[in-house]
Structure 1
Amino acid sequence: MIITDTHTHLYSEAFDGDRTEMINRALDANVKRFFIPAIDSSYTESMFQLEKEFPDNVFLMMGLHPTHVKENFKTELQHVEVQLAKRKFYAVGEIGIDLYWDKTTLGIQIEAFRYQINLAKQYQLPIVIHCREAFDEIFEVLEQEKSDDLFGIFHCFTGSLDQAKQAISYNMKLGIGGVVTFKNGKIDQFINQIDLKHIVLETDSPYLAPKPYRGKRNESSYINRVLEKLSELYGKSAEEIARITTDNSKAVFGI
């Protein structure tokens, strides 16, 4: 069984004390593929280092995270553009809109999101979307930018059934992680109405640890808790869900 974690911040400072051990725990737990989203230029070298240490397992994205869209965002976007021109990445991400932390930057967040969508189209890459308290704003941009060459993953999907269907209509897979195990997470109430062909697994580690680790540091090996929950909700074996969701990740990332 091969499990794919489509979204994990393995370079995070939260792992500085035991990064290699943590990654090896995940590998031992059948998590063989790690897709690494970018945040901003300050993490680029750490991402490259991870790829060097685990070349068969680590696959990098490039992008500017919406919470890091600040006054210098044009410089940061230039960094993204330069990196994409230099070497292979597997997605433009994570990108999007976050209105939980700062609503005042909405205008430049939309500008950065749209700019990076167009970079993804230029390089024929998927996008990986971060959406927090911003479904309407994200959908508005996707509606304007939709095309056959716009596709990707709606990372950490936490919306309603209708919002799930809308995201899928824009060629997006739904990234399902620890939230599906939460009592108040809500997506567990309808996710089995979504065909598994639209689902990929993720941890978003070190954030959003699933039960029974909720509130603690998340790590990629805990994706097995997400797999177990989906197995229960869909009435299918963990092996089958791992196979389908890994195949879905290959369809998105091309590897």
Structure 2
Amino acid sequence: MLVDSHAHVDTERFDPDREAVIKAALAGGITRIIDPGCDLPSSKAALQLAKDHPGVVFAAVGVHPHDATTYNDAVAAELRAMAQEREVVAIGEIGLDYFRMLSPRDVQRAVFSAQLQLARELDLPCIIHVRDSYDDVIELLREQGPGLRGVFHCFSGTVAQAKECLEFPGFMLSFAGPLTKQGNELPEVARMVPLDRVLVETDSPYLVPKPVKARRNEPLFVKHVAQKLAEIRDMSFAEIARITSDNAIRLFGPGVN
């Protein structure tokens, strides 16, 4: 049993073979896939995909920082309504991205805060995107106060940043393809993070893990991330699969069980 806690299977890159990709994941032991939205259309697509694959695909709904300028009262109302569907297990993908800056910083901050508040009101976890923006993300989370829970998805920061993220007791860190590659502090982060606060993901179709040579990532390949995590922690693959799956079920709720 293994959960891919973050995969954008709804995107057009899977249009030619989406069903085959999901079947391959199931055949390879990936029992559940969390598919987060990035804007209103992709949130709707993720929800429909979850409805079409009950018990296998689960949706999150939200507006990514790249698309923060698309957020308005009407979008917020639709997200709120969708978030109350039983197939929706989180608010996301939300956060701040100061690397590409496809939306102005002040707009990103306002939209992120609004969606954190939505997660709180609906008692849902949030899936947080952070790129070149750790200080502001931490600031806005602290402003929200205690009670939120969620995951820093595709964690790619330093040990110091990981420790800061883990100061929020309801949050987990999720590892993706970068854990399998050189030139970062992620092995050190993976060694120090408490086992009850770690998830694995693909972020499909992005971030293909080693040793896969494919140009497109897919949920089946989350097993390579889990294997690398097992090696770093000197544990068996089966242990890591069980622990990360249990964590995903605990975070995203009994409906994922």
Q: TM-score range by the shorter chain?
A: over 0.9
Q: Does the aligned pair in 1 maintain the 2:43–2:60 contact within 8 Å?
A: no
Q: Indicate whether 1:186 and 2:185 are aligned.
A: yes
Give distance in 1, aligned partners of 2:44 and 2:221.
26
Q: Does the aligned pair in 2 maintain the 1:208–1:214 contact within 8 Å?
A: no
Instruction: Tell me the equivalent position of 2:42.
Output: 43
Give % identity. Answer: 34
- Map 1:129-168 onto structure 2 (within 5 A): 129-147=128-146, 149-168=147-166
Give the C-alpha shift of residue 196 in structure 1: 1.3
Question: Partner letter of residue 89 of structure 1?
Answer: V
Q: What TM-score, normalized to structure 1?
A: 0.93
| SS of 2:235 mapped into structure 1 | coil
CA, structure 1 residues 150+48, in 2 after alignment: closer, same or farther (shift >3 Å)?
closer
| SS of 1:175 mapped into structure 2 | strand
CA, structure 1 residues 71+17, in 2 after alignment: closer, same or farther (shift >3 Å)?
closer
Give the C-alpha shift of residue 94 in structure 1: 0.8
Q: Does the aligned pair in 1 maintain the 2:6–2:203 contact within 8 Å?
A: yes
Give the C-alpha shift of residue 191 in structure 1: 1.6
- Map 1:1-40 onto structure 2 (within 5 A): 2-40=1-39
What is the aligned length? Answer: 253
Question: Partner letter of residue 163 of structure 2?
Answer: K
Structure 1 gaps, min length 5: none
Give distance in 1, aligned partners of 2:163 and 2:129.
17
Give the C-alpha shift of residue 167 in structure 1: 0.8
Q: Which region of structure 1 is more displaced relative to structure 2, 235-244 or 160-169?
A: 160-169
Structure 2 gaps, min length 5: none
Instruction: Tell me the equivalent position of 2:206.
Output: 207
- Map 1:1-255 onto structure 2 (within 5 A): 2-70=1-69, 72-85=71-84, 89-102=88-101, 105-147=104-146, 149-170=147-168, 171-213=170-212, 216-255=215-254
Per-residue CA deviations over 1:61-110 (Å, capped at 9, x if unaligned) read 11111111115544432321232356552111111101111176111111
Q: Does the aligned pair in 1 maintain the 2:66–2:103 contact within 8 Å?
A: no
CA, structure 1 residues 248+210, in 2 after alignment: closer, same or farther (shift >3 Å)?
same
Give distance in 1, aligned partners of 2:16 and 2:63.
26
Q: Aligned-residue CA RMSD in angstroms?
A: 1.7
Give distance in 2, aligned partners of 1:214 and 1:145.
42
Per-residue CA deviations over 1:103-148 (Å, capped at 9, x if unaligned) read 761111111111111111111111110111100110110111121x
Per-residue CA deviations over 1:21-66 (Å, capped at 9, x if unaligned) read 1111111111001111111112244223312331120111111111
Q: What TM-score, normalized to structure 2?
A: 0.93
Q: Which region of structure 1 is more displaced relative to structure 2, 173-182 or 72-81?
A: 72-81
Give the C-alpha shift of residue 198 in structure 1: 1.3
Question: Partner letter of residue 56 of structure 1?
Answer: G
Q: Does the aligned pair in 2 maintain the 1:94–1:127 contact within 8 Å?
A: yes
